[in-house]
Structure 1
Amino acid sequence: MGLLSQGSPLNWVETKKYADHVRKHGILQFLNIYNKVKDRQKDVLKWGDEVEYMLVELDDKNEKVRLVLNGSEVLETLQGKGEKINPNHPTLWRPEYSSYMIEGTPGQPYGGTMSEFNTVEDNMGKRRREASSVLGENETLCTVTSFPRLGCSGFTKPECKPTPVEKGASKSLFFPDEAINRHPRFSTLTRNIRHRRGEKVVINVPSELLMIWKYFITACVTFQACSISEARYLYDQLATFCPIVMALSAASPFYRGYVSDIDCRWGVISASVDDRTREERGLEPLKNNKFRIHKSRYDSIDSYLSCCGEKYNDIELTKDEEIYKQLLDAGIDKLLAQHIAHLFIRDPLSLFEEKIHLDDANESDHFENLQSTNWQTMRFKPPPPNSDIGWRVEFRPMEVQLTDFENSAYVVFIVLLTRVILSYKLDFLIPLSKVDDNMKVAQKRNAVQEGLFYFRKDIFKAQNGVESDGQHEEYALMSIDTIINGKEGVFQGLIPILNCYLENMEVDVDTRCTILNYLKLIKKRASGELMTMAKWMREFVAKHPQYKQDSVITNKINYDLLQKCDRIAKGEEGCPKLLGDTVKRGSE
Structure 2
Amino acid sequence: MGLLTEGSPLSWEDTKKYADHVRKHGIQQFLNLYHKRQGRTKDVLYWGDEVEYQLVKFDHANRRVHLALSTQDVLKKLKENAEKSDHESRAAWHPEYAEYMVEGTPGKPYGGLVAHFNVVEANMRRRRQDIQSVLNTDEAPLSLTVFPRLGAGNFTDPPYTPNPESGASRSIFFPDEAINSGHPRFKTLTRNIRERRKEKVCINVPVFKDTKTPSPFTEDFSSMDDVNGEAKRSAKPDHIYMDCMGFGMGCCCLQVTFQACNITEGRLLYDQLAPLCPIMLALSAASPIYRGYLADIDTRWPVISQSVDDRTREERGLEPLKEDRFRISKSRYDSISSYLSPGSFCYSDIDLTMDTEIFDTLVNGGVDKMLARHLAHLFIRDPISLFGENINQNDEEDTDHFENIQSTNWQTMRFKPPPANSNIGWRVEFRPMETQLTDFENAAYTVFIVLLTRVILSYKLNFIIPISKVDENMQTAFKRDAAVKKEFYFRKDILTESSPSEATKCSSQCRIECCVGIDDEYRLMSTNEIINGSDDFVGLLTMINTYLGSMECDVETQCTLQQYLRLISKRASGELKTTARWIRDQVADHPEYKQDSVISEGITYDLLKKVSKVSQEETEPSLLFSHHTMTKETLPPAITNTEKYLNKKNPGPRPENNTASTTNGFDEDGCC
2:616 is equivalent to residue 570 of structure 1: yes
Q: CA deviation at 1:84?
A: 7.0
2:458 is equivalent to residue 423 of structure 1: yes
Partner of 2:628: 583
Q: CA deviation at 1:582?
A: 3.1
Distance in 2, matches of 1:374 and 1:203, equals 19
2:240 is equivalent to residue 208 of structure 1: yes
Whether the aligned pair in 2 keeps the contact of 1:426 and 1:463 (CA below 8 Å) is no
Distance in 2, matches of 1:193 and 1:28, equals 25
Question: Can you give the 5+ residue segments of structure 2 that lack an aligned partner in the other structure?
Answer: 207-238, 503-514, 631-672
Partner of 2:171: 172
AA in 1 matched with 2:593: Y
Partner of 2:56: 56
2:368 is equivalent to residue 369 of structure 1: no
Q: What does 1:357-506 align with in structure 2 at a 5 Å threshold?
A: 357-462=392-497, 470-489=517-536, 491-506=537-552
Q: CA deviation at 1:224?
A: 0.2
AA in 2 matched with 1:114: V
Distance in 1, matches of 2:271 and 2:494, equals 14
AA in 1 matched with 2:180: N
Distance in 2, matches of 1:465 and 1:353, equals 49
Partner of 2:124: 124
Partner of 1:508: 554
Distance in 2, matches of 1:481 and 1:444, equals 16
Partner of 1:110: 110
Whether the aligned pair in 1 keeps the contact of 2:349 and 2:466 (CA below 8 Å) is yes
Whether the aligned pair in 1 keeps the contact of 2:54 and 2:141 (CA below 8 Å) is yes
* 1:378-433 CA distance string (max 9 Å, x none): 00000011211000000000000000000000000000000000000000000000
Partner of 1:66: 66
Distance in 2, matches of 1:578 and 1:376, equals 29
Q: CA deviation at 1:322?
A: 0.4
Partner of 2:277: 242
Whether the aligned pair in 1 keeps the contact of 2:89 and 2:123 (CA below 8 Å) is no
AA in 2 matched with 1:420: V
Change (3 A) 1:154 1:302: same
Q: CA deviation at 1:72?
A: 1.1
User: Which of the pair has more CA radius of gyration?
Assistant: 2
Partner of 2:359: 324
Whether the aligned pair in 2 keeps the contact of 1:194 and 1:200 (CA below 8 Å) is yes
- Tell me, what secondary structure is at the counterpart of 1:423? helix
* 1:475-511 CA distance string (max 9 Å, x none): 000000000001112x111111111111111111100
Partner of 1:545: 591
After TM superposition, the structure 1 stretch with the greater mean CA deviation from structure 2, 468-477 or 30-39, is: 468-477
Change (3 A) 1:517 1:71: same
- Tell me, what secondary structure is at the counterpart of 1:499? helix
Distance in 1, matches of 2:91 and 2:328, equals 39
AA in 2 matched with 1:582: H
Q: CA deviation at 1:466?
A: 9.2
Partner of 2:139: 139
Distance in 1, matches of 2:68 and 2:480, equals 30
Whether the aligned pair in 2 keeps the contact of 1:53 and 1:143 (CA below 8 Å) is yes
Whether the aligned pair in 2 keeps the contact of 1:250 and 1:533 (CA below 8 Å) is yes
Whether the aligned pair in 2 keeps the contact of 1:456 and 1:475 (CA below 8 Å) is yes
Partner of 2:572: 526
Change (3 A) 1:81 1:568: same
- Tell me, what secondary structure is at the counterpart of 2:546? helix
Whether the aligned pair in 1 keeps the contact of 2:55 and 2:141 (CA below 8 Å) is yes
* 1:61-90 CA distance string (max 9 Å, x none): 010010000101100111111137769772
Q: CA deviation at 1:327?
A: 0.5
Q: CA deviation at 1:137?
A: 3.1
Change (3 A) 1:523 1:89: closer
Change (3 A) 1:464 1:399: closer
Q: CA deviation at 1:282?
A: 0.3
Partner of 1:192: 192
Distance in 2, matches of 1:394 and 1:342, equals 18
- Tell me, what secondary structure is at the counterpart of 1:140? strand
Q: Given the two structures, how large is their TM-score scaled by the length of structure 1?
A: 0.97
Partner of 2:28: 28
Q: CA deviation at 1:287?
A: 0.2
Whether the aligned pair in 1 keeps the contact of 2:287 and 2:300 (CA below 8 Å) is yes
Whether the aligned pair in 2 keeps the contact of 1:405 and 1:584 (CA below 8 Å) is no
Q: CA deviation at 1:460?
A: 1.3
2:305 is equivalent to residue 270 of structure 1: yes
Distance in 2, matches of 1:85 and 1:481, equals 43
* 1:294-353 CA distance string (max 9 Å, x none): 000000001000122111010010010100000010010000001111110000011011
After TM superposition, the structure 1 stretch with the greater mean CA deviation from structure 2, 175-184 or 576-585, is: 576-585
Distance in 2, matches of 1:308 and 1:83, equals 46
* 1:18-47 CA distance string (max 9 Å, x none): 111111110111011100010111001100
AA in 1 matched with 2:619: G
Distance in 2, matches of 1:230 and 1:172, equals 44
Question: Can you give the 5+ residue segments of structure 1 that lack an aligned partner in the other structure?
Answer: none
AA in 2 matched with 1:566: S
Q: CA deviation at 1:164?
A: 0.8
Distance in 2, matches of 1:465 and 1:421, equals 19
Whether the aligned pair in 2 keeps the contact of 1:302 and 1:315 (CA below 8 Å) is yes
Change (3 A) 1:364 1:465: closer
* 1:81-109 CA distance string (max 9 Å, x none): 11377697721000000000010000000
Q: CA deviation at 1:584?
A: 8.6
Distance in 2, matches of 1:512 and 1:463, equals 32
Q: CA deviation at 1:574?
A: 2.0
AA in 2 matched with 1:471: I
* 1:162-188 CA distance string (max 9 Å, x none): 1112x2000011100000001100000
Identity %: 61
* 1:237-282 CA distance string (max 9 Å, x none): 0001000000000000000000000000001000000000000000
Distance in 2, matches of 1:137 and 1:48, equals 30
**Paired residue for 2:385, among 350, 354, 368?**
350
Whether the aligned pair in 1 keeps the contact of 2:89 and 2:126 (CA below 8 Å) is no
Partner of 1:7: 7
- Tell me, what secondary structure is at the counterpart of 1:379? strand
AA in 2 matched with 1:169: A
Distance in 1, matches of 2:569 and 2:575, equals 9
Whether the aligned pair in 2 keeps the contact of 1:485 and 1:495 (CA below 8 Å) is yes
Q: Given the two structures, how large is their TM-score scaled by the length of structure 2?
A: 0.85
- Tell me, what secondary structure is at the counterpart of 1:82? helix
Distance in 1, matches of 2:291 and 2:499, equals 51
Q: CA deviation at 1:462?
A: 2.0
Q: CA deviation at 1:123?
A: 0.2
Partner of 2:507: none
Q: CA deviation at 1:473?
A: 1.1
Change (3 A) 1:466 1:326: closer
**Paired residue for 2:323, among 281, 288, 302?**
288
Distance in 2, matches of 1:464 and 1:267, equals 32
Q: CA deviation at 1:469?
A: 6.3
